[in-house]
Structure 1
């Protein structure tokens, strides 16, 4: 179901656009993982570099034939930006796993570029708290550098910045995606969301994820557990068995596991 924000922002095409964003992210991620596999290296640079470029290219290709679309390449930028019905779509990876909430999303791991600062200054929502001045020195975000600001003069003043924040990694694939509007708070890329909402990924992201490994029954979602296992206190006390493995493990032919394996950290980062 579409929100009031989505309908007000994109009109009757909102569902089509939301689905196109999810599919474009899935394609970009699949290409990045293909690049990583082809490179045959344990370093994740191929994944990060490919994802950085392909996320913009996949969005541009997804909406190239839609009415009222402009594909803009600002001077000094390597990437094409999609402006759809006056809304500039800007995708960025905010996390590599689900340990980071989108509420705490940041643009990049370092200082935002002059172009990113200019995008927020010109097309982002009006800050909820105006910047204060102390002795003539302004606190908060500085004015973006002049070359970056000039690179955006080809975009109309009424353009609206719509952020697409997603979490993914080379192993697990596309984990989640959100879109909305936010203001850039400081030099480290912290955001203050004015509105954000999830983008459904069911179906669209299937091509961008590897098959999930079989899980022991104790780690399965509650809705997939057998009915008798979902109520701990119900039923008769089971008699001890020589083989303590669950019916699920025996049916799936899973080897016995004494303890859960530790997850390997993902060090991939876009731009590295």
Structure 2
């Protein structure tokens, strides 16, 4: 897969390795969650959801813990470890459980963005094209989390990793890019969004499962402009192949 200007401007020459590491971390987290569901022996999907919520952060930290220019931070008030790679804070979230929702309509959180999410966007998100939640507008419980992020440099850049999956069909797709948070319900406005290739093994359902029910049509994604990418280029880089958005459902887990 070719490297876009945004990806090159954000991660430099290490884009292929970082992109592969992200995909593998998501696959590991998903398989751990499916194993937990199987061991639990219940039809309720709580074991899958709870395991995935924690393991997506842990697997990313494990994937990059030995890479140069990496910091693993754990904000006070949050149970999650966050990866900061060369000044880019990676934040994974499940935006859909099947392909009935377009990633361009992704929301962070199941109905409401967490205090951590709100603080991350306020401190490290891109400059908004529409009004963004100001720090003084945050609810009281979000302020301690924001203050706990004070050890990170002000120029830290928030990179979102949005993925769709479920316990039966596996990892359906993954995307990364930059977006602004529009409201406390987790609505996003993408400034840049592009697909991360996922391995066939991660996308293939477990034996006896079927993903046929999620095989729905695709929708064209609108054109997106990167905010910083072109200014950072050190050599001409070809753009990524135009991406077709996928249909997506209601938001899934957040932070």
**TM-score category by the smaller chain?**
0.7 to 0.9
State the TM-score, normalized to the length of structure 1: 0.73
| Distance verdict in 2 for CA 1:90–1:188, change over 3 Å | same
Cα displacement (A) at 1:86: 0.3
**Structure-to-structure mapping, 1:44-63, within 5 angstroms:** 44-63=45-64
Match of 2:124 in 1: 123
Mapped to 2, the partners of 1:45 and 1:152 lie a distance apart of: 30
2:160 maps to which of 155, 163, 167? 163
Match of 2:138 in 1: 143
Q: What is the count of residue pairs matched by the alignment?
A: 217
Mapped to 2, the partners of 1:215 and 1:187 lie a distance apart of: 32
Mapped to 2, the partners of 1:170 and 1:23 lie a distance apart of: 17
In angstroms, what is the RMSD of aligned CA positions?
2.8
Match of 1:182 in 2: 179
Q: Secondary structure at the match of 2:18?
A: helix
**Structure-to-structure mapping, 1:1-272, within 5 angstroms:** 1-130=2-131, 142-143=137-138, 145-203=142-200, 205=202, 209-211=205-207, 270=253
State the TM-score, normalized to the length of structure 2: 0.78
Asked if 2 retains the 8 angstrom alpha-carbon contact of 1:47 and 1:268, the reply is no
Mapped to 2, the partners of 1:105 and 1:7 lie a distance apart of: 24
Radius of gyration: which is bigger? 1
Mapped to 1, the partners of 2:67 and 2:201 lie a distance apart of: 19
1:66-89 per-position Cα deviation (integer Å, ceiling 9, x unaligned): 000000000011010000000000
Asked if 1 retains the 8 angstrom alpha-carbon contact of 2:110 and 2:251, the reply is no
Q: Which has the higher contact order (CA 8 A, sep 6+)?
A: 2
**Structure 1 consecutive aligned stretches of length 4 or more whose deviation exceeds 3 Å:** 211-216, 266-271
Segments of 5+ residues of structure 1 without an aligned counterpart are 132-137, 220-265
Segments of 5+ residues of structure 2 without an aligned counterpart are 216-248
Mapped to 2, the partners of 1:212 and 1:204 lie a distance apart of: 15
Asked if 2 retains the 8 angstrom alpha-carbon contact of 1:177 and 1:199, the reply is yes
Cα displacement (A) at 1:114: 1.4
Mapped to 2, the partners of 1:212 and 1:15 lie a distance apart of: 33
Cα displacement (A) at 1:212: 7.4
Cα displacement (A) at 1:268: 11
